[in-house]
Structure 1
Amino acid sequence: MSTGEPAAASSFSPWSTIRRLLPGVATLVAVAAGARLVAPHAPLTPLLLAVAAGAVVANTVGVPDALAPGVAVHSLLLETGIVLLGAGVSLAALAAAGPALVVAVLVVVAGGLALVEALARLAGLDGRVGSLLAAGSAVCGVSAVAAAAGALDADESEVALAAGTVLTFDAVTLAVYPAVASTLALDPRVFGVWAGLSMFSTGPVTAAGFAYHPVAGEWATVTKLARNALVGVVAVAYSVRAAAETTPAGDARDRPEREASATGVRRAVAALWDGLPKFLVGFVAVAVLANAGVISGAARETLLVASDALFLLAFAGLGFDIRVDRMRDAGARPLAVVGVAFLAVSGAAYLLATSVV
């Protein structure tokens, strides 16, 4: 018995974790460094080059098992970069746009959810698939799909279908949005709010914003975080609806109904906690400390440099998540439903963005 304990302990040692993650992280560093070196001689920014390079590798040679754990760290790198980005955010500017921005976020999320749900019913899609598509497109991409899936008790095939659809639009909008903004010479703040309101997942939104302009990146991130904050509320709403649909009719004192109600409450609480973007708390804390003068000017610059470096690494990893085979499996009807809703929401979001800033 004692001979087994040291072995078990060593398997969870920091060094074993580092050895497991190091090859993939080193790959992200290599891709990011290559993007930085090539960018001065290419029409794309380092961020978009890093995404493109990762996507090319993932869809040609694939991601070896030895690299997968380290590459998957890109989500944590992105969240950490967003937290540090709080050091560069002006709370005064946010306060000026605050009420209008909050209204814009609520309008886009509520309208997007209702529109996708309605179109999904018209297209004859399963109710849970429609709800997953609605959450993913209206709130925060694949993260919202996962949160809603737990609330709705969706199966793996339904989650995969919705996630594939969302990832398809993530890849397309990441390329198209900065190009459209450059063609129209949009004000960076307008573009940032527009991207934050209408694009799906946090990674592509941040990448598109910073690919266009640093100010656009900050506003895109802030706007997207405001949307992300609603994912728990949306998951709870779906959980409550699912519990209501499964609660048997009959006397309120019946044990099956009490059990179903208790299950619904537990599911709602779990959905609210799981859906809360924890890094949002860190972002707000850093922003408050920086604007209060607790963080010095030199320290703020250091944090922002670190944030830029983390973003570049994270976007290299984001490219590895863009897989053509997943997009191919999305299916025509889900793509059509989300596509129609996206065009409508994107147009409305642009009008709202021009009124916010």
Structure 2
Amino acid sequence: MGVLARGVTALVPLGSELIVAVVLGMVVGNTVGVPSWAAPGVETNTRWLEAGIVLMGASVAVDQVIAAGPTVVVLIVAAVTTTVLTVELVARVFVRIPEKVGSLLAAGSGICGVSAVAAVAAGIRPTDQQVAYAAATILLFDAVTLLVYPAVGAALGLSDVVFGVWAGTTMFSTGPVTAAGFAYSGAAGQWAVLVKLARNALIGVVAVGYALFYSRRESGDTATLPDGVTAQSLRFFWSNFPTFVVGFVVVTALSSAGAFSAAQLAALDDASNWLFLFAFVGLGLTVELAELRETGFRPVLVVLLGLLTVSSVMLAVLSVVF
């Protein structure tokens, strides 16, 4: 289907081949279905995405990243903090859903989608149903924002940098951020991925913070985390850290040092594009529309209000900063 997506977009101007790949996967997955023998392969789509991001490091414009570095770091921290607090506020005060569901939604919205939901769930011990509701809600917004963000960016005439940083700071999961960024432009895609990777690195901090908060609430013990994991445990941080980021940094450093020839850079860029294409076919195949329809209205309202608030504020700030 990845080859088909590239062929279709070469013949018919349907927009980004990555979005076409996701849509093809969704159509096939929700009509024909995924055969049992193919399911293990489809589930590796996140690995293909991570490998594509690692290779993408060879084409990153390091000088631009360094120049904007401090500003982007401040924006990332501000976006994560604002998102988590906004979703928690809406969930606890206005919509009033169970507090652990609100916390899972806040982590998923603020850091890295379903991965953050799973990481935080390990420390706060919600019910399986609460995890399922939170994950389904995040997946719903992943699908919607993947299509809406590029359309909004084009309608507003956003620059590549503004769009990339906006998507990287306010969209949820790495896959949709990458697809939306590259659907807008190559430069926007690179900025979106760079910002998203930096944001993902905060997952350990958020997971530990939530575990400490609920541990104190439920047991009065502020010194330890569930299962005996101490707040100072590097292993806990590392277990939740997106380790492929290390590969991305290494490849970027090698490229900046001139380790690759022009032909090798072109080959790495082409390989990265193909890996993204296959990853997004797999992403589409894993989206189950029936499950999304079963998501309760209240969690959706919480995330919608949080996303509209934070994305609007961040877009206004970015338009001034850049």
Assess same fold via TM > 0.5. yes
Q: Structure 1 residues 135-144 or 294-303, which shifts more?
A: 294-303
- Counterpart in the other structure of 1:33: 3
Given that 1:205 and 1:220 are in contact with CA atoms closer than 8 Å, whether structure 2 keeps it comes out as yes
Q: For residues 240 and 343 of structure 1, do their structure 2 counterparts lie closer, same or farther at Cα, with a shift above 3 Å needed?
A: same
1:108 corresponds in structure 2 to: 79
Shifted more, 147-156 versus 134-143: the winner is 147-156
Q: Which amino acid aligns with 1:187?
A: S
In the alignment, does 2:272 pair up with 1:302? no
Question: 1:110 and 1:216, CA in 2 relative to 1: closer, same or farther beyond 3 A?
Answer: same
Gaps of 5+ in 1: 1-30, 250-256
Change (3 A) 1:126 1:267: farther
* Structure 1 residue aligned with 2:300: 335
Which amino acid is 1:180 matched to? Answer: V
Relative to structure 1, the CA distance from residue 246 to residue 301 in structure 2 (aligned partners, 3 Å threshold; closer, same or farther) is same
Amino acid at match of 1:162: A
Equivalence for 1:289: 254
Structure 1 residues 225 and 259 mapped into 2: Cα distance closer, same or farther (>3 Å)?
Answer: closer
**Structure 1 position 51 matched with structure 2 position 49:** no
**Equivalences for 1:1-357 in 2 at 5 Å?**
31-39=1-9, 40-122=11-93, 123-248=95-220, 263-265=228-230, 269=234, 271-357=236-322
Task: Give, in whole Å, the separation in 1 of the partners of 2:262 and 2:4.
Answer: 30
Structure 2: gaps spanning 5 or more residues:
none
Which amino acid letter does the alignment assign opposite residue 96 of structure 1? A
Query: Does the CA-based 8 Å contact 2:212-2:225 persist in structure 1?
Result: no
Listed one character per residue, the Cα deviations across residues 171-221 of structure 1 (whole Å, up to 9, x for unaligned) are 001111111222222211111111111110000000001111111110000
Q: Is the 8 A contact 2:212 2:224 kept in 1?
A: no
Question: In structure 2, what is the equivalent of residue 23 of structure 1?
Answer: none
1:16 corresponds to: none
Shift of 1:304: 1.0
What are the Cα deviations for residues 209-242 of structure 1, in whole angstroms up to 9, with x where unaligned? 1111111110000011111010111001111112
Q: Judge which range, 207-216 or 296-305, deviates more.
A: 296-305
Count of aligned pairs = 320
- Secondary structure, aligned partner of 1:265: coil
Among the aligned pairs, what percent are the same residue? 46
Distance 1:295 1:192 in 2: 26
CA RMSD between the two structures = 1.9
Answer with 1 or 2: which has the greater Rg.
1
Secondary structure at 1:112's aligned position in 2?
A: helix
